[in-house]
Amino acid sequence: MQIYDVPPHDRGWSLVLHGGAGGRVEELTLDVRGSYTAGLTRAYQAGEDVLAAGGSALDAVCATVEQLEDDPLFNAGRGAALTAAGTAELDACVMTGDGHAGAVTACRYARNPVYAARKVMEDSPAVLLVAPSEQRLLDWELATVPPEYFLTPARQQQLRNVQSRQLEASRHGTVGAVALDARGRLAAATSTGGMVNQNEGRVGDTPIIGAGTYARDGVVAISCTGEGEAFIKGVVAYDIAARMRYLDQPLATAITATVEEELTAHGAMGGLVAVGADGTVTVAHNSAAMFSAYHDGTRLVTHA
């Protein structure tokens, strides 16, 4: 497992994002890697702008994820991984450290699924909504698009390659962000198209509170990526938070133990980003690589 643990610095807030875990980043050509770096940087800056202006952790993680959803390189929003039927079924989730949460699954019409998840949290009694209708999204005054908007030639080619077994289903691209704001509030957001070639109706860990996404003020905020079924069965994000709360484990210790026991021990691959209540930022993965961006106190660090 690789883990990067960055102690809090004096900006008074923290932000870290991921763009999915998967195979070796070295496999990317320089051109493509540059585009990923640009996308990660743009997304980090969107969240940073919110936090630097005194905005909330929730606004920051939504602004960051919105950028990544709009970027066709990442497996979320436009350019999401496609189901076996060639459709895009999008999952997204937000949670704030004060215990509020919202999620959508099999979302087909919201241009930015992260904002649909936020509406579920803020404007509905539900926590998880399946396949929100276009009318519901319009009632919430969210931007809607036809389902074809999400399909890109690159993803259609990837699906053909996976189905003809020329390519192993690569999992790079799910996106997520976690933040601590200047008022000490934590938030997490995650968004994905799921796994390439997944059955229609399959739901991964992303919209499941405690599996792929979790936040609790005073403890930690976490966003995960990887083989969703293992994250659900290991309740990975919550397991890390529980280790911190009940065993008093430091963030990096808790993450290392959970990744080892709930993922690696079961042959499952993935990673996560986390921010502790003190502003410590952690990036961890047992996959060969994971796209991420964070600030190390002097400069923005991107892994692409």
Q: Which residues make up the interface to ligand ASP (CB under 6 A)?
A: 20, 75, 171, 174, 192, 194-195, 204-206, 212, 225-226, 228
Cβ 228 to ligand ASP, closest distance in Å? 2
Beta strands in 169-219 (DSSP E): 175-180, 186-192, 213-216
Q: Which is nearer to ligand ASP, 51 or 268 (CB)?
A: 268
Q: Taking the CA atoms of 72, 19, 269 and 121 in sequence, report the sign of the dihedral they define.
A: negative
Known catalytic residue at 87: no
Minimum CB distance to ligand ASP smaller for 75 or for 112 = 75
CB of 69 to ligand ASP, least distance (A): 14
Segments in 88-235 forming alpha helices (H): 113-123, 134-139, 153-163, 228-233
Which is nearer to ligand ASP, 226 or 234 (by Cβ)? 226
Tokens representing 53 are 């202006």
Residue number, 22 or 279, with CB nearest to ligand ASP: 22
Q: Which is nearer to ligand ASP, 194 or 279 (CB)?
A: 194
Q: How far is 188 from 132, CA to CA, in rounded Å? A: 21
Q: Taking the complex as a whole, how short is the minimal distance between the CB of residue 224 and ligand ASP, in angstroms?
A: 7
CB of 247 to ligand ASP, least distance (A): 26
- Based on CB atoms, which residue is closest to ligand ASP, 195 or 240? 195
Shortest distance (Å) from residue 160 CB to ligand ASP: 19
CA distance 36 to 30: 10
Quote the DSSP letter at residue 199: P
Work out the end-to-end distance of the chain between its first and last CA atoms, rounded to an integer number of angstroms: 17
How far is it, in rounded angstroms, from Cα 189 to Cα 292?
A: 14
Tokens 């936090």 belong to residue? 51
Phi-psi region of 19 (alpha: psi -120 to 50; beta: other; left: phi over 0): alpha
User: Taking the complex as a whole, how short is the minimal distance between the CB of residue 39 and ligand ASP, in angstroms?
Assistant: 16
CB of 279 to ligand ASP, least distance (A): 25
What are the contacts of 152-159 at 24+ separation with CB within 8 A?
A: 152/72, 152/78, 152/79, 154/72, 154/79, 155/79, 155/80, 155/81, 155/82, 155/193, 155/196, 156/82, 156/86, 158/81, 158/82, 158/196, 159/81, 159/82, 159/84, 159/86, 159/196, 159/197
Contacts of 130 (CB under 8 A, 6+ apart): 104, 105, 106
Catalytic residue among 174, 190, 213, 256: 174
Nearest Cα residue to 205 out of 158, 173, 237, 245? 237
Decide: helix, strand or coil at residue 226.
Answer: strand
Residue 97 or 176: the one with the smaller Cβ distance to ligand ASP is: 176
Could you list the active site residues? 174
